[in-house]
Copies of this chain bind each other. A is one copy, B any other.
Amino acid sequence: MPAASTFLQTMRTPAQNAELALLLEVAGTPKPGNVDRKRDLPDLRFEHFLAGAVGAQDGLRAAGRGDPVGSAFERSVEGMAEQRGGNTQFGALLLLTPLVRTAGDDEIEELTPEAAAATVAATTVEDAVDFYRAFDHVDVRAGDPPEDMEPLDVRRGSDAADAVRDRGLTLQELMAESSERDGVAREWTDGFEETFAVADRIADSDEPLPARAADAFLWLLARRPDTHVAKKHGASTARSVMVRAQEAREGGPDLVAAFSESLVESGINPGTTADVVAAALFVALERDGLEV
């Protein structure tokens, strides 16, 4: 990747940059509603994210050396889940896995939306089966599927393997089915549009990286409803959180702090926004050669 060889002074591999992105994401503060450097939630603490990032390492490395996206993702989730906090970085890893695979491919010149989209387009039915297997390792919030999709309920995990093969859906096609209600799936379908937009924002700043992560989080939260919030609390709550994020940004640090307290009290954690910020940090480290 010419961009990397021009700018990067480090030997960090794409997998290592991805792990570092996960760590920088959780170090950013304030990140209203979520665990951050200054905030633990009752059963989800900072150290669970540290262990999740370290545990994801083998799967991320598999993606970097060109393993199929589905199996690399499943492996990263299995390792991530080896801590007591539960699902810390499932969505972030679902974004990072194809991005790391793209960045690790010697034949790809630069980490662009087009290159990432090509990785996604090359996914197979077996990638979809492995994606389902990942759900065996962790509880992920998922609503009831449409009636005809019942056999493909992700909560069935690896038990859905036969149904996935019968339908013959690739992982890309499966993601397209969810892209209207799931922000991570939408990134898969839209060429990682939000991820690259946030990466540009991060790369253009000269704050320390955790401060850029926090800024990017609030910026994105104010831009569109967080689909993790929508699934858990409904679409109107997700829209309200977006509007309040806009007001908090305009109001300054005190209003951001109050907004943050309010989200924590209501148990609202904008998880999809954090997922996209982690992926964007990876793009900024890998494509723009940002130094820590």
Any chain B CB within 8 A of the CB of A231? no
The bracket for how many chain A residues form the interface is 20 to 34
Contacts of A48 in B (CB 8 A): 292
Cβ of A214 to closest chain B Cβ, rounded Å: 12
Q: Contact check, A46 vs B292: say whether CB atoms are below 8 A apart.
A: no
Q: How many copies does the complex hold?
A: 2
- B47–A16 CB distance below 8 A: no
Q: Residues of B contacting A23 with CB < 8 Å? A: 23, 50, 54
A46 lies within 8 A of B27 (CB):
yes
Q: Is the interface of A mostly helix, strand, loop or mixed?
A: helix
B51 and A292 within 8 A (CB): yes
A23-B23, A51-B292, A292-B51 as given contacts; A82 in contact with B12, CB under 8 Å: yes
Can you list the 3 inter-chain pairs with the closest CB atoms, starting with the nearest? A51-B292, A10-B82, A23-B50
A79 contacts chain B at the CB level, 8 A cutoff: yes
Please tell me if A187 contacts chain B, counting CB pairs below 8 Å: no
- Interface membership of A291, Cβ < 8 A: yes
A55 to B57, CA, bound (A): 12
